[in-house]
Chains A and B, each alone.
Chain A
Amino acid sequence: MLSNTVILEQVRTVVANVMRVPLVGVTAASSPDTIKQWDSLQHLNLVLALEESFGLQFSPEETVQMLNVETIALLIEEKQMA
């Protein structure tokens, strides 16, 4: 379970901004299956926006695993703790 709700909230905000959807509609479970705009092209934009927002870099292997909001937040939490 994610311990850092700050990270989760920041990820939700980035996702909402990139996908241009209301923040209220972005939950921890949000994914390409639940957000229509979240396709492979938007995923690239999302990865770049998350890198900028959190000051991190993701490997290509990580980017293809970042397929729901909670998973993204957990990955970011791990990277920040490393």
Chain B
Amino acid sequence: MSNFDREKYPAFIRIIDLISAQNPLQRKRIETFVTQQDATYWKYAEQVSRALERSVLVSESARIEAASAYNRMCMDFLREQIHFRKTGVYRLDDAQIAQAQVYDRPDVMRYYMIGLLWSYLLWRNHYAMLRLLQAHLDNISVEHYLEIAPGHGLFASETLRRHPHLNAILIDLSETSIQITRDILAAFQIDPARTRFVHGDFGTTELPSDKFDLIVMGEILEHINQPLEFMRKARQLLSSQGTIFMTTCANCPAIDHVYHFHTVNEIRAAIREAGLTIVREISLPAEDIPEARWQVELVTINYAAILTERNG
């Protein structure tokens, strides 16, 4: 990576150098993105990278593995995109198949979750969604926090760092995700006593009856067969002044995506149907083309929103 301050941001540049060496296409994409970012971004990316280097990425081989994980995830996305562009549908349409092919396979989950973690530093849309979460966390007080499918653990680390008094309940289908989340929280020196992990399916698992002030559900709805029921259950667990931070996407094929939102309006309709109100939202196309062409060209749209219970 040229023209970057290697003295100020050595840990972050180390990982993107490794990614770029393995994958020239990603080198270009990453360089285009990071060169446009400000000091806040670079400091944050370096903070995350250093935290990881102190804990789970101590060795060069571990860093190479992390870079390989990211590139392998990108290859998966490319494979799914090719199928989607040819057929107009996701390869899978049943969450049970995704469970067997992905969530029940520690080898797949490991590289997938590690790759996704880096995507929140390296992809424009994912970083924008992370920034929305950070801004929301800075503007709320939270006593009871639930995260559904923490996956890569980055959202959980943001929430628990910004609210140091807070304890969390985190539920995930995948033991590998739970372990990765534990590792990320440990990297940021978050006391394990602050977290209670539940290994299970949010849709069928009984959780404590307390209401939650904050529910974080990142990249879930496109992974399940019935997102409406899922959101209704989340709403029932929300306190009267509580908020949900959610992310999802339209036209976004992936190895475990089964529910196909075709447009952002379909996402909004599901939110309304679930009895929730959108307080703030962002819709981010993966390509810089006019909105009128998004549907025709099946452009991936990343979507993030802050929701409350709808009154009346």
Binding site for B on A (CB under 8 A): 31-33, 38-41, 43-44, 47-48, 60-61, 63-64, 67
Contact = CB atoms under 8 A, between A and B. Distances in A.
Contacts of B23: 64
A39 to B, nearest CB: 5
Nearest to B31: A39
Nearest to B71: A64
Given A39-B29, A60-B78, A44 B85 contact: yes
Given A60-B75, A64-B75, A40 B82 contact: no
Nearest to B26: A40
A25 B76 CA distance: 31
Contacts, number: 44
Nearest to B76: A60
A33 B25 contact: no
Interface residues of B, number: 18
- Could you tell me the dominant secondary structure of chain A's interface residues? helix
5 cross-chain pairs, A with B, having the tightest CB-CB distances, nearest first: A60-B79, A40-B25, A40-B29, A39-B28, A32-B28
A63 B24 contact: no
20 contacts: A32-B25, A32-B28, A33-B24, A38-B28, A39-B28, A40-B25, A40-B26, A40-B28, A40-B29, A40-B74, A40-B78, A44-B78, A44-B82, A48-B82, A48-B86, A60-B79, A60-B82, A61-B75, A63-B78, A64-B25
Contacts of A63: 78, 82
A39 B82 contact: no
A78 B47 CA distance: 47
User: Which one of B26, B28, B85, B86 has the greatest number of beta carbons of chain A within 10 Å?
Assistant: B28
Contact of A67 (B24, B79, B81): B24
B86 A43 contact: no
Interface in B56-93: 74-76, 78-79, 81-82, 85-86
A43 B75 contact: no
Interface string B275-301: 000000000001100000000000000
